[in-house]
Structure 1
Amino acid sequence: MVVTSLYDPTSDVVIRELHGRGVPVVRLDSGDFPASLSMEAEVTDRGIRGRISTPTRTADLSRIRALYYRRPSGFSFPHLTEQDARFAVTQARYGLGGVLASLPGCLYVNHPHRIGDAEFKPSGLAAAVRAGFDVPPTLITSDPDVARAFIKRYGSVVCKPLQNPVYLVDGDSSVVTVAEVTDEDIDDRVAGTAHLFQERVTKTADVRVTVIGSQVFCVRIDSDLLDWRPGHSRLTYTPIEPPPGIETALRRYLRHFGLVFGAFDFCVDGDGRWWFLECNPSGQWYWLQTETGLPMLTALADLLERT
């Protein structure tokens, strides 16, 4: 089963690969519930049993051997009043969401509850320290004075979003990028919500490490950008091997959150030291295969097929 929104090119290629292997796949967007997605589930002494039906497929819940949880859309009940819609969304989330999270004998890539845990950036940074990664000094605050003091202490500091909801700019999706800040940039707007400040590492390159089950794929990303995500046309990619200790720390981190997939971002300083920045439990990866030829699609399909 693949749980994602209608537009998800990464899931498209995974599904094509599984179809080519003769593996039956049901794709659904939980946001289609209940308009075009129905569910019936019974809790028995053998766990959850029942079925989920889309306009083209019906899945026996007891026979789902792997679930690839990507990026489903949110529940929506526009025909209801605001209060009734809020109640209906809650029931859908804990009803359908609870069923999808409780499939017997199912391998989750990744489990939605574990994804939720790992998406809290302060938790991820703390787990990274415990796993053995080097993590730049980091501050989360809503106090402007504390932010200014942190910047004066470390000199070169960047501000990052704690989560990155999509913004529409002239109809196109965009994200809030990482930006360097000085103490003069800090004003009372900091008090409006939580902000993350981090000492800027003078980097020579970035590295994206994608862990898929037992396999680890490391790609060096070279550019002249502070935040490489918006500038794909200015990037070059090189498959590399991780330095000693990194793979062990990757495994510790994933075990901490109960993940089998993770897209890790590092920056590399002038001494070759890898600094942990974040791990996205639902991160993009397929574009790296097209750039490097690394067999990432095969690895993920093998994992889902449970070969």
Structure 2
Amino acid sequence: MDTPVLILTGIDDPTSDAVIHELNARGVPVVRLDPAGVLTGQVEVSAHYADGQPSCVTTSSREVDLGSVRSVYYRRPSSYKAPAALSDNDARFAADQARHGMGGLLASIEARWVNHMWRSLAADFKPAQLSAAVSVGLEVPPTLVTNSLDEARAFAKAQGSVVYKPLYASDLPAPNGAPSFIWVGQVDPDEMDDGIGSTLHLFQATVQKTADVRTTVIGDKVFSVRVASPHLDWRRDYDLVTYTVVDTPRKVVEGCRRYLDHFGLVFGAFDFGIQENGRWAWYECNTGGQWHWLEQETGLPMTSAVADLLEMK
């Protein structure tokens, strides 16, 4: 078998489906693996060290020698959740062993990663993102991370208008069990209360924008799509969003590349706001961000770009 591409993702991932279809069409072998399957009997591991034997992972349909992997696409693997039949302590123990065992095993693969799981983790923290974006010359709105009510109120009054953004997208189910989201929203300083002292919060000066932009960097290719919506946070209602392919300003391209180099990444989904003066204000970068729906909306060859990265030896 030729050296395969290893795709690490859960079962429900249309983005990975598109990449797998493209690689199959090119005759490139692919192994799809959800690492959490080691807890449910769907994945079997045999990892050897110091005895010269290969380390192999077996799924229901494939076996892969981890030393022969061509490249790794780290998409959206499932969380490590032990079977419900286990006691709380046994479940916690099993999940911890699986996470650390599979994490160390897979992260040691010496191949091209899009993106490496540890580097993606390092770039997943908003304060680290903000610091990196400022350092590489991207235009970042004034931002405050705090648990001080006084600091938050003073910042809001100084900026005139601020929005609240969560530092992490916590898994918060609604009462009916459906996913619950905290949208980006404006905050009145008079509405702030002592609850701010309970944890850290991110407040940012409101960007006076005409639209948003999702800029997806895939290796040496850059794709930018203008995203227009009546909502401050366009994710509230995708049915009201319109998409237009736009050119990416050179300064933004250079800043995005320096940002990815800072974290050792080859892929990044950047979000910007187009200000009334035409400049692009940086919001964040998601190292595992969605992009396939933008290809469907615009026809941009993004699947091909990802497959190009993964196909190279």
Amino acid at match of 2:46: E
| SS state at 1:116 partner | helix
Further displaced range: 228-237 or 161-170: 161-170
> 1:45 deviation in Å?
9.3
Range with greater deviation from structure 2 (129-138 or 77-86): 77-86
Shift of residue 262, structure 1, vs aligned partner: 0.3
**Alignment partner of 1:91 is 2:97:** yes
Residues 194-239 of structure 1: CA deviation (Å, up to 9, x unaligned) = 1100000100111100001110001111122111112211111111
Instruction: Select which of 51, 54, 62 maps to 2:59.
Output: 54
- The answer to whether residue 302 in structure 2 is matched with residue 282 in structure 1 is no
1:305 partnered with 2:272 = no
Who is 2:272 aligned against?
A: 266
Q: TM-score, normalised by structure 2?
A: 0.93
**Structure 2 counterpart of 1:159:** 164
* In structure 2, distance between residues paired with 1:167 and 1:290: 29
**Greater displacement, 170-179 / 78-87:** 78-87
Q: Are 2:129 and 1:140 equivalent residues in the alignment? A: no
Partner SS, residue 227 of structure 2: strand
Which is further off, 291-300 or 173-182?
173-182
Alignment of 1:54-203 (within 5 A): 54-77=59-82, 78-104=84-110, 106-169=111-174, 170-203=176-209
2:145–2:201 contact (8 Å) kept in structure 1? yes
Supply the distance in 2 between the matched residues of 1:44 and 1:12 (Cα, whole angstroms). 36
Q: Which residue of 2 aligns with 1:225?
A: 231
Alpha carbons 2:36, 2:98 under 8 Å: kept: no
C-alpha distance in 2, partners of 1:224/1:16? 35
Equivalent residue, structure 2, for 1:291: 297
Unaligned runs of 5+ in 2: 1-5
CA–CA distance in structure 1, aligned partners of residues 307 and 51 of structure 2: 32
Q: In the aligned structure 2, how far is the partner of 1:119 from the partner of 1:45? A: 36
Deviations 1:38-77 (A, max 9, x none): 111223499x941100111111111111111111111122
Q: Distance in 2 between matches of 1:21 and 1:174?
A: 39
- Aligned letter for 2:101? G
What is the distance in 2 between the residues matched to 1:219 and 1:49? 44
> Letter of the aligned partner of 1:179 in structure 2?
G
Determine the structure 1 residue equivalent to 2:251: 245
Residue type of the alignment partner of 1:53:
T
Relative to structure 1, is the Cα distance of residues 87 and 303 closer, same or farther in structure 2, using a 3 angstrom cutoff? Answer: same
State the AA in 2 paired with 1:277.
Y
In the alignment, which of 3, 22, 27 is matched to residue 8 of structure 2? 3
What is the identity percentage for the equivalent residue pairs of Structure 1 and Structure 2?
50
Amino acid at match of 1:215: K
User: Aligned to 1:277, what secondary structure does the other structure show?
Assistant: strand
Separation in 1, partners of 2:126, 2:147: 16
1:99-145 per-position Cα deviation (integer Å, ceiling 9, x unaligned): 110112x1111111011111100100100001110101111111112
Q: Deviation at 1:79?
A: 3.4
- Give the corresponding residue for 1:254: 260
Single out whichever of 284-293 and 89-98 deviates more from structure 2: 89-98
> In structure 1, the residue corresponding to 2:260 is in which secondary structure?
helix
Whole-angstrom distance in 2 between the partners of 1:235 and 1:74: 31
When normalised by structure 1's length, the TM-score is 0.95
Alpha-carbon displacement from aligned partner over 1:236-256 (angstroms, at most 9, x marks no partner):
111111113111111110011
Instruction: Give the Cα separation in 2 of the matches to 1:290 and 1:195.
Output: 35
- Pairing partner for 2:24 from 19, 23, 32: 19
Q: Aligned partners of 1:288 and 1:112: how far apart in 2?
A: 24
Separation (CA, whole Å) in 2 of partners of 1:246 and 1:83:
49
CA distance in 1, matches of 2:297, 2:192: 39
Q: CA deviation at 1:257?
A: 0.7
- Contact 2:218–2:306, Cα closer than 8 Å, also in 1: yes
Q: How many aligned residue pairs are there?
A: 305
Pairwise CA distance, 1:299: 0.5
Matched, 1:40 2:52: no
